[in-house]
A and B are shown apart, each in its own frame.
Chain A
Amino acid sequence: MTDADAIRRLLQRVGLGPRPGELARATTGGFDATLAALTAPGPDAGATATPPPAFPAPPAPAARTDVAARKAREQAEAAQARTLVVWWLDRMAAADAPYPERMTWFWHGHFATSVQKVKSAALMYGQNATQRRLGGGDFRALARAMIVDPAMLVWLDGTGNRVGKPNENLAREFMELFTLGVGNYTETDVREAARALTGWRIDAGGDTSSVNARNHDPGPETVLGTTGAYDADGLVDLLVTRPASPRFVAGRIWTRFVSDTPPDPATMDTLVAAYGANHDVTAVLRAAVTAPAFRDPASVLVRQPVEWLVAALRALKLPASKVAPAALRAGLTGLGQTPFHPPNVGGWPAGTPWLTTAAALARLKLAQALVAAADLSPVTDVAAGSRVEATAALLGLPAFTSRTAAALAPLAGTPPQLVAAALASPENAVSA
């Protein structure tokens, strides 16, 4: 694979897709400089210009029996959740230095939490901000924050977990899905770890959490063969220092950034060495994308729907908030992925399960809504005979296959249709 193709992969996978001109500039700068610039982001005017909205708590009904007030509250919560989704898409599209948003997106899929149960956009934004702040650094710090994150405590019933009356949900998923992987703990470990996490509550202000000593099990607990009086931090420290944990975290990064095929043992060792004693997530990422497999032509990833959408928004320099809201919502629903709405705590799938017949139709329909709102001058400004090529360049794609080029050629006279079809092309469904 050429350097230019590897750089394209970098911008698609470690960035969120190139904006016009960025691919050419990166190709001039070379792979190493592009990776260094991506993963050590400086000030970001685009991000600064898309500040998060405020999410004031909707008024609580005075009485549970006040059905109208409850309905009003639910509607206010739903409206805030919609605002949150569009804001994050806007931020991902606007970021000049996309790496923090890219890693936030990665961790959102890893610590998958849904507003459908949490209800509060403020709590969901709080978790999102924590993932943005800690997502490129020490995994232990991130895991410590996530295990007592207010949205997480609501999502996995952590606030109902009390001494003598454990609720296993948070403890189980923290081991299975967040730190160790299935098979690396026993059912007894789940029950003991749940005791270590007893007593947490959301504070009165609603956006922080703390432990209520009266409801906390003083222990001792025996988890993974080690006995101690564990609290949340102590449990996280135990989990992330187990040998399975670095491999688990590195494997998750590999799947999303490099390939569906797991790394070979030597590569995995390299990733774990990069992770090191500081649990350094960005070091793992750098090791993964500098591994030989990253340049293997077979290491093609299917773009998740949100990645497909954000790459399109960035290429078209189009804020999500300029797209017809109903079409945007229907598009994400039809594709099966809406930010802050993962299907469950396991997050979203990877690979070809996204490429269904239903999704093919949804991609074309959403693409039509995007081009209706976009400035297509990079295509309209060139001669009709060069527009298919210009469209590939606009979307940051390598040349189309002859099949797709032939299909697109008749649309050269109608740039909106040309760009919509290109967005829905097989070439644009993947990071090749």
Chain B
Amino acid sequence: MNALTLSRRRFLTYSGAAAAVAAAGGIGWKELADRTRTDPLPPGTGVLVTVTLYGGNDGLNTVVPAADPAYQSARPDLAYAEHEVLDLGEGLGLNPGMAGLKASWDAGTLAVVRGVSYPQPDHSHFRSMDIWQTATPDHPVNTGWIGRWLDGNGRDPLKAISLDPVLPPMLAGATTAGAALPLSGLALTKGALGTAFAAMGGASDGEPGPQAVAARSITDLHRTVATLGPAVDATTAAPGAGGKKAATSQLAAQLDVVARCVEMGAPSRVYSASVGGFDTHADERSTQQRLLTEVDAAVSGFLTRMAGTDRGRHVVLMAYSEFGRRVAANANEGTDHGTAGPVLVAGAGVKGGFVGEQPSLTDLDDGDLKPTTDFRDVYATMLSGVLGSDPAQVLGPGRSTLPLLST
């Protein structure tokens, strides 16, 4: 299962963006590209990388309460024994596949936010992922939280980058949508065909909204190529070229592109990467451990690399899923849809440790964990601490920030 994963009905249609985009189309891409090329991100600027785990990652087998007898008895065939997990203290341990992140924990650069969800958690993948990506639990809205941040910060698509070909709702604003970087390289067609293609990106009075969005995507593509092309194309060199190893997973390939963009000072502040396959209703243990091992390798490789440069040390990575899973296992050595789960926050500027209370395994809500932390407070912390923005503009008033960052 790949990661482009929202149902059509609930997928955001940012039709409002179409009109604004058409109105803004008078600027030539070359001009814009030149501007961004000469305007790299100032050193020391915070960058947020989100990693979305689609499918509902089982939080209880990620940050495992292995010492809790209630955990062992709820999941006789699925539970990890205490000696199998990577001990974090307080009776919790990381999944055995997550040795790289355990090293981050030991180095004090991994925070584990516990029991994260929202009031009255929804058990639908699609509704719950919509809620996480729009940060609006009460009712469906057609803007994502990063999209709203784009709207309020210069409306520049290059400030938030998707590593998936289809735009995730998180990056859709009312007037701006993040750009998408293909992993297969950004080599544009040259010559007369390339010139014609670029020319089709201009605005055309009176064309229908979606057609204007299609035109604008061509213009944004050329800006993206001019600004980020060198970073992306460097990653698509033949495996082994220049001593570089081929990425071992889709997420690793995505984060490889992000790393190069960050290192070259790309003007983007947010990157959205993702991996799917976490909907483990059956044979969960082997499937999830394989996926978490992939995630761990990709993320810890990325973090190690980021720790090696000044720009990279201002990167914060946040990994989350739309929900955790039911406390008790089902008959297929899997688990059905649940509620709260952990959010992992990592990076050189992160203050390691636990944040938030671990939900009880005995005081349940109809078989599900009772959330202890609202995900919007994690977002508020990212907005204020990493992006230097007022959380209220994106999330509305009244959010708290969490002690996740040391700087």
A binds B: yes
Task: Please state if A408 and B196 are interface contacts (CB–CB under 8 Å).
Answer: yes
Task: Please state if A360 and B331 are interface contacts (CB–CB under 8 Å).
Answer: no
Interface size range of chain A in the complex:
35 or more
Contact partner of B123 (CB less than 8 A), chosen from A181, A187, A297, is A187
Contact partner of B9 (CB less than 8 A), chosen from A168, A255, A362, is A255
- Min CB distance, B254 to chain A, in Å? 12
Residues of A within 8 A of B196 (CB): 407-408, 410-411, 417, 421
Contact partner of A432 (CB less than 8 A), chosen from B13, B166, B181, B211, is B211
Residues of B within 8 A of A302 (CB): 210, 214
- Min CB distance, A203 to chain B, in Å? 19
The reply to whether the CB of B189 lies closer than 8 angstroms to some CB of chain A is yes
Known: A167-B330, A172-B123, A260-B13. A350 touches B8 (CB 8 A): yes
Residues of A within 8 A of B221 (CB): 357-358, 360-361
Residues of B within 8 A of A361 (CB): 182, 186, 188, 221
Task: Please state if B217 and A359 are interface contacts (CB–CB under 8 Å).
Answer: yes
Would you give the 0/1 interface string for A196-235, flagging 1 where the beta carbon is closer than 8 Å to chain B?
Answer: 0000000000000000000000000000000000000000
Residues of A within 8 A of B218 (CB): 360, 426
Known: A347-B7, A356-B162, A421-B196. A168 touches B330 (CB 8 A): yes
Task: Please state if A426 and B337 are interface contacts (CB–CB under 8 Å).
Answer: no
Task: Please state if A109 and B8 are interface contacts (CB–CB under 8 Å).
Answer: yes
Known: A334-B165, A346-B8. A401 touches B204 (CB 8 A): yes
Would you give the 0/1 interface string for B124-140, flagging 1 where the beta carbon is closer than 8 Å to chain A?
Answer: 11110000000000000
Contact partner of B193 (CB less than 8 A), chosen from A187, A417, A425, A432, is A417
Known: A356-B179, A357-B221, A417-B196. A427 touches B211 (CB 8 A): yes
Chain A: CB-nearest residue to B189? A364
Name which of B148-156, B274-282, B373-381, B399-407 contacts chain A: B274-282
Interface size range of chain B in the complex:
35 or more
Name which of A62-70, A157-165, A282-290 contacts chain B: A157-165
The reply to whether the CB of A420 lies closer than 8 angstroms to some CB of chain B is yes
- Min CB distance, B345 to chain A, in Å? 26
The reply to whether the CB of B265 lies closer than 8 angstroms to some CB of chain A is no
Residues of B within 8 A of A114 (CB): 1
Residues from 221 to 276 in B contacting A, C-beta threshold 8 Å: 221, 224, 276
Can you add 14 more A-B contacts, CB < 8 Å, to A157-B334, A344-B5, A417-B196? A168-B336, A298-B209, A300-B210, A349-B8, A350-B13, A353-B172, A356-B165, A360-B218, A403-B199, A403-B215, A407-B199, A410-B195, A426-B204, A426-B215
Complex: A353 Cα to B217 Cα, angstroms: 11
Task: Please state if A351 and B3 are interface contacts (CB–CB under 8 Å).
Answer: no
Complex: A292 Cα to B157 Cα, angstroms: 36
Would you give the 0/1 interface string for A396-408, flagging 1 where the beta carbon is closer than 8 Å to chain B?
Answer: 0000011110111
- Min CB distance, A222 to chain B, in Å? 16
Task: Please state if B210 and A352 are interface contacts (CB–CB under 8 Å).
Answer: yes
Task: Please state if B217 and A357 are interface contacts (CB–CB under 8 Å).
Answer: yes
Complex: A424 Cα to B164 Cα, angstroms: 20
Task: Please state if B200 and A421 are interface contacts (CB–CB under 8 Å).
Answer: yes
Known: A355-B214, A361-B186, A426-B214. A168 touches B281 (CB 8 A): yes
Complex: A350 Cα to B14 Cα, angstroms: 11
7 A-B pairs with C-beta separation under 8 A: A117-B1, A165-B331, A187-B123, A343-B2, A348-B166, A350-B9, A353-B13
Complex: A424 Cα to B167 Cα, angstroms: 19
Would you give the 0/1 interface string for A14-57, flagging 1 where the beta carbon is closer than 8 Å to chain B?
Answer: 00000000000000000000000000000000000000000000
Task: Please state if B208 and A336 are interface contacts (CB–CB under 8 Å).
Answer: no
Task: Please state if A167 and B281 are interface contacts (CB–CB under 8 Å).
Answer: yes
Would you give the 0/1 interface string for B56-80, flagging 1 where the beta carbon is closer than 8 Å to chain A?
Answer: 0000000000000000000000000
Residues of A within 8 A of B15 (CB): 260, 351-352
Complex: A300 Cα to B172 Cα, angstroms: 19
- Min CB distance, A242 to chain B, in Å? 17
Task: Please state if A368 and B180 are interface contacts (CB–CB under 8 Å).
Answer: no
Residues of A within 8 A of B17 (CB): 352
Task: Please state if B211 and A421 are interface contacts (CB–CB under 8 Å).
Answer: no
Interface residues of A (CB under 8 A from B): 109, 114, 116-117, 156-157, 160-162, 164-169, 172, 176-177, 181-182, 187, 190, 251-252, 255-256, 260, 297-298, 300-302, 330, 333-336, 341, 343-362, 364-365, 368, 401-404, 406-408, 410-411, 414, 417, 420-421, 424-427, 429-430, 432
Residues from 329 to 349 in B contacting A, C-beta threshold 8 Å: 330-332, 334, 336-337
Chain B: CB-nearest residue to A154? B282
Complex: A255 Cα to B182 Cα, angstroms: 28
Task: Please state if B165 and A359 are interface contacts (CB–CB under 8 Å).
Answer: yes
Complex: A330 Cα to B86 Cα, angstroms: 39
Interface residues of B (CB under 8 A from A): 1-15, 17-18, 54-55, 122-127, 157, 162, 164-169, 172, 177, 179-182, 184, 186, 188-189, 192-193, 195-197, 199-200, 202-204, 207-215, 217-218, 220-221, 224, 276, 279, 281-282, 330-332, 334, 336-337, 366
Task: Please state if B162 and A346 are interface contacts (CB–CB under 8 Å).
Answer: no
Contact partner of B208 (CB less than 8 A), chosen from A298, A351, A402, is A298
Residues of A within 8 A of B2 (CB): 341, 343
Complex: A412 Cα to B275 Cα, angstroms: 44
Residues of A within 8 A of B199 (CB): 403, 406-407
Residues of A within 8 A of B6 (CB): 346, 349
Chain B: CB-nearest residue to A351? B13
Complex: A427 Cα to B125 Cα, angstroms: 34
Complex: A387 Cα to B188 Cα, angstroms: 25
- Min CB distance, A349 to chain B, in Å? 4
Task: Please state if B193 and A420 are interface contacts (CB–CB under 8 Å).
Answer: yes
Known: A300-B210, A344-B276, A420-B193. A426 touches B200 (CB 8 A): yes
Residues of B within 8 A of A161 (CB): 331-332
Contact partner of B336 (CB less than 8 A), chosen from A162, A169, A351, A407, is A169
- Min CB distance, A91 to chain B, in Å? 23
Residues of A within 8 A of B189 (CB): 364-365, 368
Complex: A109 Cα to B123 Cα, angstroms: 22
- Min CB distance, A130 to chain B, in Å? 22
Lowest 6 A-B CB distances belong to which pairs? Answer: A165-B331, A346-B7, A356-B180, A407-B199, A160-B332, A349-B11
- Min CB distance, A83 to chain B, in Å? 20
Residues of B within 8 A of A168 (CB): 281, 330, 336-337
Residues of A within 8 A of B281 (CB): 156-157, 160, 167-169
- Min CB distance, B176 to chain A, in Å? 12
Known: A330-B184, A361-B186. A353 touches B208 (CB 8 A): no
Complex: A117 Cα to B8 Cα, angstroms: 21
- Min CB distance, B348 to chain A, in Å? 29
Contact partner of A403 (CB less than 8 A), chosen from B124, B126, B204, is B204
Contact partner of A349 (CB less than 8 A), chosen from B166, B213, B224, is B166
